[in-house]
Structure 1
Amino acid sequence: MGDTAETGARIALLRKHRGLTQHGLATLANVSYSLLTKVESGSRPATEAFIAACARAIGVEIPVLLGDSAPEATQDQRLGKLLGRVRTQLDLYDLDPDETITQRPLPVLREAVRVANVVGQAARYESMTSVLPGLYAELLVAAHTWTGTDRADAWGLLAEAYRCAHTVGIAAGYPDLSLIALNRMDWAARQAGDRAPALRAAREYLRITAYLRRHDYETGWHLNNAGRAHLEGTDPKTPGALIAAGQLNLGAAVISARTGDASSVRDYLNEAEHYAELTGEDLETFWFGFGPTNVAVHRVITMIELGDYSHAIHLGEFIKFPKGWLPTRIGHHHFDLARAYQRLNLPEQSLRHLQAARHVAPGQARRHPLVRGVVLDLLQTSRHPSELLTRYAAWIGI
């Protein structure tokens, strides 16, 4: 967090610029007037939740209050600084909740978590990361103080919010942050009532994606089995169970493809298709984008992993994405196709899909190792790289 006195001074400056008195801001932000005066004077540090509440009330982004929005800083520098605050909140999860926080109602918190995930799935990582520390602090208070079904709902929302830190950690090259976030996700999910089994299974799937990057397929199978174990005893009415089961089958199909088992790939994809017929297109449950389209996308992925590039392209070029489908999922599909075209020595078509990935989710394309790998291969196999390819390489830091 930024310097205590400087943060308080920024709050005071922006409050006055908005024409608000201290009483007015305290009322709008739903914070203590006494605490606000102490923070503005520099005699009391501003907590994450306090900063988030004041930012919402004043109408500015959180980094503005923290002094982290300097234009001369690079995107990665700003993101790294924001992730430091996220890491702190992930580390302090087991301390007593911040008693100065007045949490917002459940529907408002539910929408806040949904918006954070929407922003993350659009690869707008700075915007998402800036709100996470305050959101974690607020949800922790709700989870510890509410009762009944509201309490279980708060724990479930906290699990979903922790998943956001995994999203940015795995995308921005912070695997340790991803691991911590998924551990916290499971900790919160255990207390989420009837949502617990599917949330915990979803967490195992997310862990699989991390180990796929390491080519550790034995661990991937172990986690896939653990996810299925969480779903034992559930039924179609268990919240999220069908989605989690379907996604675990997609994960199993990818592991099978990576290990050259084409027969198992077909079996797992067919099983996933069965679940997709039951669920239809479901974009927001666990933010997997599970449904018939995602099964089709994974058919393309597994064909590529098995080396069947021509059939992968034939299927992949004709997939139509539902309205509102997750930008990062669309982006990943484009650089999967870019990889297939590159393997067939069709560089122009490969670059076309790299450009499409950049258009739909630039924050993802600029950082993803698959994109970097395809660009490097294109550069190495081209005697005279095009200006477009050279510019793209420079954009991702090559």
Structure 2
Amino acid sequence: MPISGDDHTGIHIKEQRRLARLTQRELADRIPYSYSWLTQVECGARPASVDFTAAVARALRIDVTVLTGQPYVTQLQEDRLAELIRPIREAMDVYDLGDDPALTTRTAGELVDAVEDLCAQVRAARLHAVAAALPDLIIELTALCWRTPSTELWRALAAAYRTAHDVTVKIGYFDLAGVALDRLGWAAERASDPCLAAIRQYFRALVYFREGEYAIGRRLIRSGHAVLDPGDQSREALAVAGQLHLGGSVLSARAADRSAAADHIASAREHASRVGDASRIHWLSFGDTNVSLHEMSVAMEMRRYDDALRQAKAIRLPASMATSRRSHYYIDRARVEMELGHTEASLKSLWTARRAAPEPTRYHPQARETVRGLVHISRRTPETLGNMAAWVGL
């Protein structure tokens, strides 16, 4: 039976479709999904996958968040994360105001170390702690960059903006994440750092991955490669180039360009073979395991779920893998298992993701929609599934 409740992505799609004065048949003709698929999503009989939602948002020319309902304010308020958003926004807004002579800052070395610590904490999925500490750090770094500018400080400020992007994306404040990327670009220019500039293009490309504009996303990936110095064969440059290829692989998969996706994976694996474990280089988690994770994602995005599950089972996550990346793997695996009807395995994967990284899992739209799908296809709702559904806010 359809899932009860009137606040899910399918309902939002139905509302926006009607506002656009489209019938279900007309909307289905504009997306790479069948009429039957659309009708099932709208009534709650099928979960709205991330790629499906992106396709509908693109067809209706609206932001994905209009359909997903992000940010999930009720859960954010319960976790006391919502109250931390305004200070981050205000801290990023002082970027062009120059020095604040009345502000006493920590030393440059202390601030650089603090930036690295927050980068590590984001990967450990400690979103509340990072969001609470970030505003003061950005304000102090901004003042010190104007007071005693140096390449090291501008790089640190760029990394702090990158962290602001990471946090706000994970909890669904995508408008603020976009501001953070603009600030990252501003600081990277002053640091004269092509790797940071390329990383910004990578994250900009992921915006279009989320919004379903894959042609623009792929152009941004190419732009990121163009920013890098072709003569720079350092581990840093190779890791950034490899990460750009990983972004290109999933964008190509969403665009149904299987050949390009395979080429990107092959290039990324070649880069990984040259740099080894580069997970701490700009905290990109780049390395051979991350290439394998993206290869699984490519199969998933192209709806080759049997291939994706086979690949998922072959992956062995190293103990050094960042907690946030580990939880993402289990969220992806849960979706694949749900699509194949492996309900118990899917729920187990979701619980593993939740135990590893509670906050990112709770606010991940794919985790939410996978739970919705499990509720629908389960003949009965076990207590563990009911608990999970209530926890994510269904």
Q: Same fold (TM over 0.5)?
A: yes
Q: Distance in 2 between matches of 1:76 and 1:100?
A: 36
2:326 is aligned with what amino acid? I
Tell me, yes or no, if the aligned pair for 1:341 and 1:347 is still in contact at 8 Å: yes
Secondary structure of the corresponding residue to residue 317 of structure 1:
helix
Deviates more, 1:335-344 or 1:300-309: 300-309
Unaligned runs of 5+ residues in structure 2 are 1-74
Tell me, yes or no, if the aligned pair for 2:209 and 2:251 is still in contact at 8 Å: yes
Correspondence for 1:249: 245
1:189 is aligned with what amino acid? A
Q: Distance in 2 between matches of 1:82 and 1:233?
A: 41
Tell me, yes or no, if the aligned pair for 1:98 and 1:137 is still in contact at 8 Å: no
Q: Distance in 2 between matches of 1:217 and 1:336?
A: 20
Query: Taking structure 1 as reference, are residues 199 and 74 closer, same or farther at Cα in structure 2, changes over 3 Å only?
Result: closer
Secondary structure of the corresponding residue to residue 78 of structure 1:
coil
1:226 is aligned with what amino acid? S
Q: CA-to-partner distance for each residue in 1:178-222, whole Å, 9 max, x for gaps?
A: 0000100010011113xx101011111112222211111122112
Correspondence for 2:371: 375
Query: Taking structure 1 as reference, are residues 81 and 303 closer, same or farther at Cα in structure 2, changes over 3 Å only?
Result: same
Q: CA-to-partner distance for each residue in 1:248-306, whole Å, 9 max, x for gaps?
A: 10011101111222221111101001111111112222221001110011111111112
Tell me, yes or no, if the aligned pair for 1:152 and 1:192 is still in contact at 8 Å: yes
Correspondence for 1:215: 212
Matched, 1:236 2:238: no
Tell me, yes or no, if the aligned pair for 1:143 and 1:152 is still in contact at 8 Å: no
Tell me, yes or no, if the aligned pair for 1:120 and 1:128 is still in contact at 8 Å: yes
| Cα RMSD (Å) | 1.7
Deviates more, 1:329-338 or 1:108-117: 108-117
Tell me, yes or no, if the aligned pair for 1:97 and 1:137 is still in contact at 8 Å: no
1:280 is aligned with what amino acid? G
TM-score by length of 1: 0.77
Correspondence for 2:112: 110
Query: Taking structure 1 as reference, are residues 76 and 123 closer, same or farther at Cα in structure 2, changes over 3 Å only?
Result: farther
1:362 is aligned with what amino acid? P
Q: Distance in 2 between matches of 1:318 and 1:366?
A: 26
Correspondence for 1:96: 98
- RCO (CA 8 Å, sep 6+): is it higher in 1 or 2? 2
TM-score by length of 2: 0.78
Q: Distance in 2 between matches of 1:256 and 1:378?
A: 28
Q: CA-to-partner distance for each residue in 1:49-101, whole Å, 9 max, x for gaps?
A: xxxxxxxxxxxxxxxxxxxxxxxx96556212111001011112111222133
Unaligned runs of 5+ residues in structure 1 are 1-72
1:300 pairs, out of 282, 296, 301, with: 296
1:342 is aligned with what amino acid? M
Correspondence for 2:82: 80
Matched, 1:312 2:297: no
Give me the identity figure in percent. 36
Secondary structure of the corresponding residue to residue 324 of structure 2:
helix
1:259 pairs, out of 234, 255, 260, with: 255
